[in-house]
Amino acid sequence: MSSRFIIALASLFAAGSAFAQTKWDLPAAYPANNFHTENLTQFAADVDKATAGKLKITVHANASLFKAPEIKRAVQGGQAQIGEILLVNYQNEWQIFGADGLPFLADSYDESMKLYKAQKPLLDKKLGEQGMMLLYAVAWPPQGIYVKKPIASAADLKGVKWRAYSPATARIAELVGAQPVTVQAAELSQAMATGVVESYMSSGATGYDTKTYEHIKYFVDTQAWLPKNAVIVNKAAFDALDKPTQAAVLKAGADAEARGWSTSKVKNTEYLELLKKNGMTIAPPTPQLKADMTKVGDTMLKEWLEKAGPEGQALVDAFRK
């Protein structure tokens, strides 16, 4: 056997083994130490292990590969094979994406899971039409109001510079008379430090991740809604995998979903404790504020149903069954 033949054979094997390994990029919008991102990292490790290194998924945290609003298009267009998006960010594209950002529609983990089950068939269909698939989704902890001074009613938010991260959070600002300023999670610390933002609605997780306690001292635990992060996959990239690899991705996704929801619950309590430890005052809403915010929720649900049409009504009916 000539040495030239051996070299050719060796390079063929090398090419074969290199060809056998598939690499996927997974852009995410949140810091590496956020529980959603840690869950993604565990998911990627599970896939790596289950496929014996055949499919390598690299998680790009903190909007380092694509900014939050760009991730869906990147997955749809195949620049990234898989990505994590905040569903409510895309409400303007299709109202159903924003169902879990409607204040006081689903305001607990159980209600949120019920809403997800009603929403999922619609999400599957829509993403399928767009050349993608929903792998899994995990709820954020319940949303409360971060504010510089104690508030007794919605009127106390008048004129306040309010961070909006979705159409729904911008609409809340309008309804309570605050000034909406669009700021993504990765830029939030800077926005608070420079006074661009004085108040916002989010979870204990975001408050802790962004060290909100350095700028804002009050958190009103309204438990208004639990928005979800969804992990979406480019369908062509998924279809290109062999059957055992596809099965490994689906299994790791199902495990990540179950793990993510239980982690979110545990973390919610942890984050609120950490905020307290760092000098933040955490209080339930006053009866007046609760009534005001419920009214905001009713208005927004009515507006949402007008835009979402029969599809939206069917979703709310299925949820309320």
pLDDT above 90: residue 59: yes
Across the chain, what does the average pLDDT equal? 93
Distances (CA, A) of 305 to 18, 216, 236, 298, 310: 51, 34, 33, 11, 8
- Average pLDDT of span 277-299: 96
Give the whole-angstrom CA distance, residue 27 versus residue 84: 6
Is the pLDDT score of 12 beyond 80? no
Check pLDDT > 50 for residue 18. Answer: no
Q: What is residue 181's predicted lDDT score, i.e. its pLDDT?
A: 96
Residue 19 pLDDT greater than 80, yes or no: no
Q: Residue 184 has what pLDDT? A: 86
For residue 1, pLDDT over 80 is answered with no
**What is the mean predicted confidence (pLDDT) over 186-194?**
93
Dihedrals phi, psi of 283, to nearest 5 degrees: -140, 155
Looking at residue 5, what is its pLDDT?
Answer: 56
pLDDT at 2 over 90: no
Identify the pLDDT of residue 261. 98
- pLDDT(16) > 70: no
Convert the pLDDT of each residue in 238-257 to its tens digit.
Answer: 999 999 999 999 999 999 99
What pLDDT was estimated at residue 17? 47
Average pLDDT of span 11-16: 50
Quick: pLDDT tens for 76-98.
999 999 999 999 999 999 999 99
- List 84's β-bridge partners, or say none: 231
HEC string for the chain: CCHHHHHHHHHHHHHHHHHHCEEEEEECCCCCCCHHHHHHHHHHHHHHHHCCCCEEEEEECCCCCCCHHHHHHHHHCCCCCEEEEEHHHHCCCCHHHHHHHCCCCCCCHHHHHHHHHHHHHHHHHHHHHCCEEEEEEEECCCCEEEECCCCCCHHHHCCCEEEECCHHHHHHHHHHCCEEEECCHHHHHHHHHCCCCCEEEECHHHHHHCCHHHCCCEEECCCCCCCEEEEEEEHHHHHCCCHHHHHHHHHHHHHHHHHHHHHHHHHHHHHHHHHHHCCCEEECCCHHHHHHHHHHHHHHHHHHHHHHHHHHHHHHHHHHC
pLDDT digit string, tens, across residues 105-134: 999 999 999 999 999 999 999 999 999 999
Q: Considering the chain, what percentage of its residues have pLDDT values greater than 90? A: 91
pLDDT at 4 over 70: no
User: Which residue has tokens 């496929």?
Assistant: 51
| 76 and 235 Cβ atoms separated by less than 8 Å | no
What pLDDT was estimated at residue 8? 53
51, 245 contact by CB (below 8 A): yes
Please give the pLDDT value at position 298.
Answer: 96
How many other C-beta atoms can be found within 10 angstroms of the C-beta atom of residue 130?
17
Please tell me the predicted confidence (pLDDT) of residue 179: 97
